[in-house]
Amino acid sequence: MKTQSDFDGFEAFSKVAFPEHKLKVDPYLSRLYRPISLRMSWLLLKSGLSPNSITFIQIFVGLLGCFVIYTQHTTLGLLSGILLLHFAYVLDCVDGEIARATNAESLQGIFLDKFAHAITMPAIFLSVGVYVSAVHAEGYQGVVILAWLASFATFNPVSRLVLTVVDALRNKGDIEQYNIENYQNSTSSKEESEPSFARRAIASIGHPDKSTGIFQIALHLFRHVSYLAGISVLLILQAVGTPSAVIILLWVLACAALVLKEIAMLLLVVRTHFIEARLV
């Protein structure tokens, strides 16, 4: 594994750890963390910690932050939990930076990165939902239920199920249920009847290089770092004395947006040629 001595200073390390092509796909808000994460990565090169070890630490810190928010229903508790979550996100940047700089990228690392998000993002919505319910909604459980639905939506279940079906169609053609030829006749007329917006959405999501502006906005809006920004705004609003009714409304709108995103994806899959487009 490479060390600091293998690089001609911090700037040379940064160019390898966070190359230009990574900047093009990085969420906009993530760029605020990079000045911190790159310096931390530079320092951690001395420790010999592997990228996967850092990912495990990230998971622990993130879940600890959610636990603090879930149990400590005070402004200080919310602040402490959010700070831990921001630190976990810095570590989320660090593991990838060290992996790229030391040529330690691996399929296991990609898996762990996705696993970390799959655990932490739902936990954020569940813990903050319980917090908002306890502090601002007098324990109203409807807020918690909506947060649970939103937490489920953070995992993009519709999109992931589509990928599962596509994978089965590609690799299990010997099983009748997954023989794509069985479905081609029944879906051939769909393509002609699909509205132009649906066709653009299919092309956009199926082929990211042709993404529409709307899809690009959604791609950056429904991300881990965006959720952190949202709960940070909630903390600020609470600190300045914003009425509970306003905080509840904003929280409900945020959760509803996540749920509606999945409903829109569900309709797109059911009513259009979406799965076939992903097979191309």
Looking at the chain, the whole-number percentage of residues with pLDDT higher than 90 is 50
Q: Per the structure block, which two tokens stand in for 83?
A: 């700070």
Q: Which residue has the tokens 């904003």?
A: 250
Report the chain's terminal Cα–Cα distance, integer Å.
39
Q: Report the C-alpha gap between 83 and 77 in whole angstroms.
A: 10
| Domain count along the chain | 1
Which CATH number fits the domain that encloses residue 244? 1.20.120.1760
- pTM of the model as a whole: 0.85
Domain interval for residue 26: 4-279
Q: What is the pLDDT of residues 9-62, one digit of tens each?
A: 888 888 888 888 887 778 778 888 999 999 999 998 888 889 999 999 999 999
What is the structure's pLDDT at 185?
60
Question: pLDDT tens digits for 103-144?
Answer: 888 899 999 999 999 999 999 999 999 999 999 998 899 999
**Separation of alpha carbons 81 and 88, rounded Å:** 11
| Residue-level pLDDT at 211 | 47
Could you report the per-residue pLDDT of 179-229, keeping only the tens digit for each? 777 776 655 555 555 666 566 555 555 554 444 555 566 666 778 888 999
Instruction: Give me the pLDDT at residue 201, please.
Output: 59
Rounded CA separation 143/165 (Å): 33
